[in-house]
Amino acid sequence: MIINEVSAPPALTAFARLIGPERTVRLRRAAEEIRERLAGGTLWHVNSTPAGGGVAEMLQTLLPVYTELGVRARWAVIGGTDEFFRITKRLGVALYGSDDGPLGAREHAAYLRSLSTDAAELLGMIGPRDIVVLHDHQTAGLAPRIADRTATTLWRCHVGVDEPTPASELGWDFIGPLLDGVRSLVFSVDRHVPARFSDRSVHVLPPFISPFGYKNAELGMDTVRACLDHCGLGAQDATAPPAVRTPLGPVRLRSAPTVHREGTRRAGAPLVTQISRWDRLKDMGGVLDAFTGHVPQGHLALVGPDPAAIADDTEQRFWYADCVRRWQDLTPAQRARVTLVALPMADLAENALLVNGLQRSSDVVVQKSLAEGFGLTVAEAMWKRRVVVGSAVGGIRAQITDGVDGFLLSDPADLAGLGALLNTAIGSEVDGISIGARAHQRVHTDFLADREVTTTAAMLTQERMATS
């Protein structure tokens, strides 16, 4: 287990200007309620990776906000063997509704055995006034060891499936009993709460974006073009400068992405982009097939992290290689309209900036997930006023109002349907500026960090009232 220290420049003043005085008053009042509930203790967040994925990105934003608000907060990251992460990957797929391999007694024993060291280390750091938030299935096995040693232990689930399946029920059989001592359960999407928890204290709290971080800050056009050039997507075969300007200071573009392309993107061609993990459920291969089979114009960029860089996801290499193979099997004319980009992860600021620049360069951002917990890449693109096309699953459906602030694909397996939506989205009949403006406002209203703090305060107040 490591303690992930987060340092960030003060941002509360700028955030207060963004959300306005009424929301700022509610935010400060909520922070005061959390401090009173802690009574000198610490608010802990525990997850499985210090970088990569929505949970890590949220915590990198949230902890500095709590610090500026006077709330003592810390972030612990569990370790794990390769076997542990293979099991938790399989478990995550099950909770998304698909069968990815056995989850029996042997796997359960190995899962708990791997977490025993983390549990012992965490017990040496927490105290009876502390509040611990355990994130996702990787940490659920800590709950039986720590729940009676804290003021409150919450378990937060960022994954799920809209309709139960035999595989998802098996996944909940695996971790459900481990959560018996947890005071409250927190889900990102109300449809993902299993019926088995109907008698439990359950809250719904969507994730949030950071509007001032490298991934979402406003960028000048020179910086956006440099990001595009660095990823091999410039209209010409240009070379990006060694450093670019951002509102947070200069960022060096020192790590070269791995790029699969044939020639250069045609000048003026609409850019359609999906940025996500190389994961079966993100269905990058399906996006490639839909675009090359049904969209006669534009250029597609499939962008994900270096597949070897995310410790808690051991299958990214396979799905990345699958996309590369599919790309290689295309005709030369098709390959010329598709670029695959694996972004470096060594410098998180550089990685986030490249994602920002690529989203801002895109005419349409896609998230064709087969299942989705929430899908923060959707909110990120909406914040940048992009036209977003996403599958009507999980949290994507909770973010996009079809035809108002984006477009929803009713059947995520419908490649022709995705092609039709993409043709509509990049066509002249769509007012992308108006859709983008409404998308930005939706994120401003519902998916910023003050909602996290105010909802956390409300949950803790409700718990105190229920136990008093």
Q: Are 453 and 30 in contact (CB under 8 A)?
A: yes
Q: What is the pLDDT of residue 208?
A: 94
Q: Which amino acid is at 237?
A: D
Tell me the helices (H) and strands (E) count for the chain, helix number first: 18, 16
Nearest to 81 by CA among 294, 312, 306: 312
* Cα 276 from Cα 71, distance rounded (Å): 32
In the three-class reduction of DSSP (H, G, I as helix; E, B as strand; rest coil), residue 393 is classed as coil
Domain spanning 2-208+449-467: which superfamily?
Glycogen Phosphorylase B; (3.40.50.2000)
Q: What is the pLDDT of residue 169?
A: 96
Structure tokens, 373: 């917990």
Torsion angle of the four alpha carbons 378, 383, 387, 389, in this order, in degrees rounded to the nearest 10 = 10
CA distances from 191 to 162, 204, 375 (A): 6, 10, 15
| Interval 31-40: pLDDT, tens | 999 999 999 9
Contact partners, residue 459, CB within 8 Å, separation at least 6 = 154, 184, 186, 203, 205
Nearest to 101 by CA among 314, 305, 286: 314
Q: Which helix (H) or strand (E) holds 10?
A: none
> Burial code of 56-89, b = ≥16 C-beta within 10 A, e = fewer?
bbbbbbbbbbbbebebebbbbbbbbeeebbbbbb
Look at phi and psi of residue 431 and say left if phi exceeds 0, alpha if psi is from -120 to 50, else beta: beta
What average pLDDT does this structure show over 280-304? 97
The count of other CB atoms within 10 Å of the CB of residue 36 is 12
Q: Which helix (H) or strand (E) holds 73?
A: strand 73-77
Instruction: Kindly report the CATH number that applies to the domain delimited by 221-446.
Output: 3.40.50.2000
Q: Are 39 and 466 in contact (CB under 8 A)?
A: no
Q: How confident is the model at residue 308 (pLDDT cuts 50, 70, 90)?
A: confident
Nearest to 211 by CA among 377, 443, 432: 443
Torsion angle of the four alpha carbons 229, 233, 234, 237, in this order, in degrees rounded to the nearest 10 = 80
State CA 455 to chain mean position distance. 19
Q: Label the pairing between strands 251-252 and 243-244.
A: antiparallel
What percent of the chain has a predicted confidence (pLDDT) above 70?
A: 96
What average pLDDT does this structure show over 88-93? 93
DSSP 196: G
Structure tokens, 464: 């105190």
Q: What is the pLDDT of residue 235?
A: 66
Q: What is the pLDDT of residue 429?
A: 85
Q: Which amino acid is at 125?
A: M
pTM for this entry = 0.90
Question: Is a pLDDT exceeding 60 seen at residue 344?
Answer: yes
Average pLDDT, the chain: 93
Burial (0-12, 13-18, 19+ Cβ within 10 Å), 186: buried
CA distances from 448 to 57, 380, 415, 443 (A): 13, 11, 33, 7
Question: Is a pLDDT exceeding 90 seen at residue 378?
Answer: yes
Structure tokens, 442: 């939706």
Q: What is the pLDDT of residue 100?
A: 81
DSSP 197: G
* Cα 436 from Cα 295, distance rounded (Å): 22
| Interval 253-286: pLDDT, tens | 999 999 999 988 888 899 999 999 999 999 999 9
Contact partners, residue 460, CB within 8 Å, separation at least 6 = 33, 34, 37, 131, 152
* Cα 3 from Cα 466, distance rounded (Å): 32
* Cα 290 from Cα 416, distance rounded (Å): 6
Q: What is the pLDDT of residue 242?
A: 80
The residues of the chain that CATH labels 3.40.50.2000 are 2-208+449-467, 221-446
CA distances from 77 to 110, 304, 363 (A): 19, 23, 37
Question: Is a pLDDT exceeding 80 seen at residue 290?
Answer: yes
Q: What is the pLDDT of residue 314?
A: 66
Q: What is the pLDDT of residue 57?
A: 86
CA angle 204, 210, 215 (to 5 degrees): 130
Structure tokens, 85: 């992460």
* Cα 80 from Cα 64, distance rounded (Å): 27
Structure tokens, 241: 């400068």
| Interval 200-240: pLDDT, tens | 999 999 999 989 889 999 999 999 999 999 999 986 666 77
